[in-house]
Amino acid sequence: MTDYPALRLDRRSLLIRTAILSVSAITPRALFAAALVPTPGQTEGPFYPVEFPPDMDSDLVRVTGQAAQALGQVIHVSGRVLDTRGQPKPGSVVEIWQCDANGIYRHPRAGGQGRIDHAFQGYGRTQVDEQGLYRFRTIRPVPYPGRTPHIHFAVHVPGQGRLVTQMYIEGEPLNARDGVLNRIRDPLARNSVIVPLASGQLSEPGALQGHFDIVVAA
């Protein structure tokens, strides 16, 4: 059999070069595609609590000592606190605050305190589990002058500090005109804070649920 060492060497070099080029071309794109979009920071707003309510658990619809349930449509919001690699951030604490069904915040500087729904907690706090999961039971946010419906979120990540953002509801007409929401210029980042609500596997009649993952720096 005739041997062609030069030909075998050329073929081997070609294969090695092709493999190197393929890896160098694909790997960065794959890594980029795998990275999660960081949740954009947003304003805390003027109505973060100046004092915390005695009842500040993850159920904002029922307040200890109040016989009535909060006005408004109940929603269950859950999600995970993750880093950009998709890894959970256990030990994180998630806060939410929002106006009641009358559009009034539980805050001394907010107008309309005489019409506030005392059966609505207005503020909640919970710690994520080992998978980074959190859950809240609250009401569907409502609009008020100048703002589309939204829920304020703050996440305290051990060793990393605090991220403040807001969650919005998909399909709300005022989203297109909300200055705070549309200050997020990156479409992917903006879409990441807009959450669809839907009925699902809930035992609570009429309640809706939404999923909102919060992505922090790795």
Under-50 pLDDT residues of the chain: 1-33
What residues contact 152, with CB distance under 8 A and at least 6 apart? 44, 45, 48, 96, 97, 98, 164, 165, 166
Euclidean distance between CA atoms 48 and 200, whole angstroms? 31
Euclidean distance between CA atoms 133 and 89, whole angstroms? 9
pLDDT for 34: 57
Euclidean distance between CA atoms 124 and 56, whole angstroms? 5
pLDDT for 203: 84
pLDDT for 53: 86
CB 18 within 8 A of CB 141: no
Whether the model pTM is above 0.75: yes
Euclidean distance between CA atoms 10 and 205, whole angstroms? 71
For residue range 156-200, what is the model confidence (pLDDT) as tens digits? 999 999 999 999 999 999 999 999 999 999 999 999 999 999 997
